[in-house]
Structure 1
Amino acid sequence: MTFDLLTALATFALVTVITPGPNNLMLMASGANFGFRRTVPHMLGITLGFPCMVFFVGIGVMQVFDLWPISYTLLKILSVAYLLYLAWKIANAAPPKQANAEGRPLSFLQSAAFQWVNPKAWSMALSAITLYATGRNLESVLWVSAVYVAVSLISTTSWTVIGQELRRFLKNPERLRIFNLVMAGLLVATLIPVLWPA
């Protein structure tokens, strides 16, 4: 991969992962509710899980949709249902003191698996492979996946830190409740392009 293409890929990848979407909204909510340290497994699940998804998309997993078109509809239904469930969990998150005892952030495996039902992740993976691994050869797919590891680390850390910093402001239970409701609403809003494509 040439330097120019790698620079373009890195820019594309950073812009796609750092903009608001389900992963980032959940990380910010987790940072606010659980703090940075407890959110690290969630962060790592995204940082490594999404590039793995990109890799598998690049080596041909999309052919499943071509062979069984119903699988795309099933994935869409599963994605919507799971995002609504996560939005409900965020909206009903306990205050930090209770959360420490009762609640817990997503685990590494949960957040890595979430990538497969995240509509934004599918869109990003398909776009990245289509634009930067056009030949679908192993080397180019690995480059795209590796770049996503680097930029995902930047994005997950940033959004979690934002959430943790908001935690000071959200010590008031009423503010935290409003924050969680707003985060849940925004997470549901990320479904609009999936349910009503332009």
Structure 2
Amino acid sequence: MVATFSPGGATTLATASGANFGWVRSLPLLAGISFGLALMAVAAAGGLGSLILAAPSLQLAMKLVGALYLLWLAWQIAKRGKPGNAAVNEKPASFLTGIWMLLQNPKGWAMTLSAAASFASLTPGPASLALLLSLVFGVSCMCSLALWCGAGLALSRQLKSERQWRFLNMLLGALLAVSIVPIWL
């Protein structure tokens, strides 16, 4: 639970979405990220994580694609202004965007792999471990993202000017871009 509440790319994205689009319009993104983490937990419990760790070229490809995608998302956030002033086609990130972003997230893989290794002895087999981890990570993630999204929404109620909105969005975009650094460490 602690790992899902700590700041990172997903929490920054949830905060930015809450600030710019509100709670209801952010729900598909939050659900996608939570579902993505639950899927990742199932994969880790089933041994897929070990395969990824054993293939350095696959790890590098995931890092590159993930970093580029997060930079693109950071740019999308940073260039926004005050809600309502944006282009008509501006929409919050989708359910599939949330899943895609999470599956590229090394922090998510590290969390789920360590949990699978740590708690494997508590269950009779991989299927029950997968069920346990997917439920715990999915629910914890949704709670965490709801809190971060709510923080973004609360913050947005304090912002009045275009300048304040630009600053917030540039800051959130920069934080999302900085969240890439641990990928390469």
Normalising by structure 1, we get a TM-score of 0.85
Of the structure 1 ranges 149-158 and 15-24, higher mean CA displacement relative to structure 2 is found in 149-158
**Hey, which bits of structure 1, 4+ residues long, moved more than 4 A?**
none
Structure 1 residue 109: Cα displacement: 1.2
CA distance in 2 between counterparts of 1:142 and 1:94 reads 42
Is this contact kept in 2: 1:93–1:103, CA < 8 A?
Answer: no
Structure 1: gaps of 5 or more residues: 1-13
CA distance in 1 between counterparts of 2:148 and 2:104 reads 20
What do residues 59-108 of structure 1 show as CA deviations (whole Å, max 9, x unaligned)?
Answer: 02124335643111111111111111111111012420034833111111
Asked if 1:42 corresponds to 2:29, the answer is yes
- Structure 2 letter corresponding to 1:179: L
User: How has the CA–CA distance of structure 1 residues 100 and 143 changed in structure 2, closer, same or farther, with 3 Å as cutoff?
Assistant: farther
Structure 1 residue 49: Cα displacement: 1.8
User: How has the CA–CA distance of structure 1 residues 52 and 169 changed in structure 2, closer, same or farther, with 3 Å as cutoff?
Assistant: same
CA distance in 2 between counterparts of 1:177 and 1:119 reads 29
Secondary structure at the residue paired with 2:7? coil
Asked if 1:54 corresponds to 2:18, the answer is no
Secondary structure at the residue paired with 1:128? helix
The root-mean-square deviation of aligned C-alpha atoms, in Å, is 1.8
CA distance in 2 between counterparts of 1:188 and 1:15 reads 22
Residue of structure 2 aligned with 1:186, choices 175, 179, 184: 175
Q: Give the length in aligned residue pairs.
A: 183
The sequence identity of aligned pairs, in percent, is 31
Structure 1 residue 29: Cα displacement: 0.5
Is this contact kept in 2: 1:64–1:71, CA < 8 A?
Answer: no
CA distance in 2 between counterparts of 1:162 and 1:172 reads 19
Structure 2: gaps of 5 or more residues: none
Secondary structure at the residue paired with 1:169? coil
Residue of structure 2 aligned with 1:69, choices 42, 49, 56: 56
Normalising by structure 2, we get a TM-score of 0.91
Is this contact kept in 2: 1:34–1:100, CA < 8 A?
Answer: no
Is this contact kept in 1: 2:81–2:165, CA < 8 A?
Answer: no
Secondary structure at the residue paired with 1:121? helix
